[in-house]
Amino acid sequence: MYSKKVMQYFMKPKNQGSMKNPDGFGTVGNPKCGDIMTVYIKVKKNKNKEIISDIKFETLGCAAAIATSSMVTEMAKGKSLDDAFKISRQNVADELEGLPPAKMHCSNLAEGALKRAIEDYRSKAGSKTKARELAAKAAKKTKKKK
């Protein structure tokens, strides 16, 4: 049996849908059960912190898969990337007032999709930072030659 909260998040999921031009996204799946989850994030910089300003999910799966996807987005929204990255599968299950043992893998997928979205954002942000650093070095070399 599912908890009342699991059923609420399954019947009326929050943050469901795709996102145009996300800053990061992560997709995970479980071939045994067929669940597939994608989490999209938008990130804003606020006082030297990167905050998840918007988050959405798309999930194909069972009630637990949809509920855990919805819950992880609620838990991460408004948090710094570092704090959101610390959300665990157990945190998600606890917020949903428990999951049947056979459905705990859904909270693992939700955690994984969120972490992949954050990692995707960080890899893109790191690439932009490196590109800016290289451009700055090239500009300095050009000025020295003049």
- The residues assigned a catalytic role are 33, 106
Q: Which residues make Cβ contacts (< 8 Å) with residue 1, sequence separation at least 6?
A: 100
CA distances 18 to 5, 15, 64, 78, 145, Å, are 23, 9, 19, 18, 49
**Which residue carries 């459905």 as its tokens?**
103
**Residue 54: closest CA among 76, 72, 85, 28:** 76
Pair 76, 84: CB distance under 8 Å: yes
Q: Which residues make Cβ contacts (< 8 Å) with residue 44, sequence separation at least 6?
A: 50, 51, 53
Helices (H), the chain: 4-11, 63-76, 81-85, 89-95, 104-145
